[in-house]
Amino acid sequence: MSHVKSATASDAQLTAVRTRHSTTRGRADTLSGVTTAAPLAAVVAALEELYPPRWADDGDAVGLVVGDPSADVRRVLFAVDPVQAVVDEAISIGADLVVAHHPLLYRPVSTVAATSPKGRVIHDLISHGIGLYVAHTNADSPPRGVSESLARAVGLEDDLRPLRPHPVDPLDKIVTFVPREAADAVVDALAAAGAGDIGAYDRCAFLAEGQGTFRPGEAANPAIGSRGEIEVVDEVRVEMVLPRRRRDDVVTALRAAHPYEEPAFDVLELAGWSADRGAGRVGTLPEPTTLRRFADSVVAALPPTAVGARVSGDLDSQVRTVAVTGGAGDFLLDDARVAGVDVYVTSDLRHHPASEFREYDGAPALVDVPHWAAEWTWLPVASEALAGILEGRGSHVEMVVSRVCTDPWNYRAGAATSA
C-alpha cells in the first residue's frame, strides 16, 4: 500500500500537532507526580466522556476493538482509517493505542485470520501490543467532534450551531417527600445513583417544606406512627433531575435511603430541547469572499490530497454563511438549502443529489472535499482534548496525529482547467 504514503498532511500542520503533545519518551514513569502512562481502561473512559458511545447511530460499531484494559498506554496515534498503513505507522512510532474514526469491523465477520486485510490489521495490532479504539458517529455530532473541527478548520467563527441539532439526552425528574431530618441523606443517595447533575454542578436539588399525612394499615410496619392512627409529619419535598437511563438506579437508591416503608415519589419525563450537538455545523466567515477564494482556502486548510476539491456554483459569487458536514454529507443537503447558507462543504456527493440540489433557485454552492481530509481535522482536536483530560488526572500520555494520507484516491487524471 505504498501509494497511500505518497501524500501526507503538511509537515507544518503535523509538526505543530506533535509539538503540542510530545514529550521525551523513556523518562521515568513518574516525574513530579505526573505519570507518563495511563491504563488503557482510563484512556477509554476519558474518550467516552468526550464521545459517549450512546451518541452513536444505531448499528454503528464503536468502542474498544483490540486491547487489554489493564495495559499501559504511553503513546496514542490518532488516525481516520484503521488500515494497514496506519498500523505500520503505529508500530514504527511505538504507539500503544490507535484511536481511529472509522470502524474496523463494521459488518459481522466470521474470521479474523490474517488472510484478509482486516485480519492482518488485527494480528499486527495484537502481536505488537497495540490497542484499537473507534469513535465514529458518536464523534461526529458533539462539541470537539468531526463537524465542529471541520467548521473551525475552514475558518468559521464562534457562532457555530448544528445544522440538524440532536435532542438533549432524555431527562426525568424525581420528586419525593422525606421527613425533614432524613432529607440530606436521601439527596446524597439520589446524587450517588446519578441524580442532580446539571452541567458542571452536581447534587442539585430543590427542597420545600410541607406536611405529609398517612394512616398505617394493619399489615404495615411504620417507621413513624402507629397502625390505624392518622399521622402528620413535617416533610421536605425533594426534586432532582436525572438521566432517564439512570431511572431504575435512582428509584432503587430512593427506596434504600428513604426511612419510610413505602416512600411516596413521582417520576416525571421531561420534554426535550435541542442540544449543542448535532449533525453538521452552520457558521459565518469573518469576511465575505468569492466562492473561488473560499474553495481554495478550504483546500489549503485541509491536509494535502491528490484530489483537492470539486466545486459547484458561480465562482465569483459572494459567500459568507457556510454549512459543513464531516464525512458523507448528502443526507443534509436539504437542511443546508433550508438554512439558506451560501455554500455547503461536505464529501462524497453523487451526481443526482448534487444536480437536483443545484437546480433550486438560489441553491447554495457546493464544495466537495476528500472524506479523509475533512475528517482528519478532528484528529488534532480530539487528541488535544484527550490529553487535557488525562493531564488533569495526573497522567501525561503522548498524543501523535497520523502522518499517513489514507484517502483511497491518489491521482487525479486529466483534471480540466477551472472555469
Binding site for Zn ion (CB under 5 A): 327, 375
Contact 326, 377 (CB under 8 A): yes
| In the complex, minimum distance from the CB of residue 387 to Zn ion, in angstroms, rounded to a whole number | 23
Q: Give dist(CA 350, CA 328) in Å, integer.
A: 10
The minimum distance between CB 372 and Zn ion, in angstroms, equals 8
Which is nearest to 329 in space by CA: 165, 167, 166, 163?
163
Can you say whether the dihedral through the CA atoms of 378, 379, 384, 385 is positive or negative? Answer: positive
CB of 326 vs Zn ion, minimal distance in Å:
7
Q: Which is nearer to Zn ion, 95 or 100 (CB)?
A: 100
Q: How far is the CB of 307 from Zn ion (least distance, A)?
A: 15
Cβ 329 to Zn ion shortest distance, Å: 10
Smallest Cα–Cα separation from 152: which of 385, 337, 312? 385
Q: What angle do CA 214, 217, 218 make, to 5 degrees?
A: 155
Q: Taking each helix axis from N to C terminus, what angle separates 117-127 and 84-93, rounded to the nearest 10 degrees?
A: 10
Whichever of 234 and 348 has its CB closer to Zn ion, that residue is 348
Q: Decide whether 377 or 383 has the Cβ nearer to Zn ion.
A: 377
349, 353, 354, 360: CA torsion to nearest 10: -150
CA atoms within 13 A on the CB side of 406: 22
In the 8-state DSSP scheme, what is residue 262?
S
DSSP annotation of 69 reads T
Provide the minimum distance between the beta carbon of 328 and Zn ion in the complex, in angstroms, as a whole number.
7
For residue 46 the three cell numbers come to 476519558
Distance CA 223, CA 392 (A): 46
Cβ-proximal residue to Zn ion, closest one? 327
Q: How far is the CB of 27 from Zn ion (least distance, A)?
A: 36
> Pairing state of beta strands 75-79 and 97-100?
parallel
CB of 141 to Zn ion, least distance (A): 13
Cβ closest to Zn ion, residue 178 vs residue 279: 279
Cβ closest to Zn ion, residue 209 vs residue 348: 348
Closer residue to Zn ion in complex, CB, 150/400: 150
271 vs 204, 248, 313, 405, CA distance in Å? 19, 19, 41, 45
What number of other Cβ atoms are within 10 A of residue 237's Cβ? 16
Closest CB to Zn ion among residues 253, 382: 382
Nearer to Zn ion among residue 145 and residue 327 (C-beta)? 327
Contact 160, 141 (CB under 8 A): no
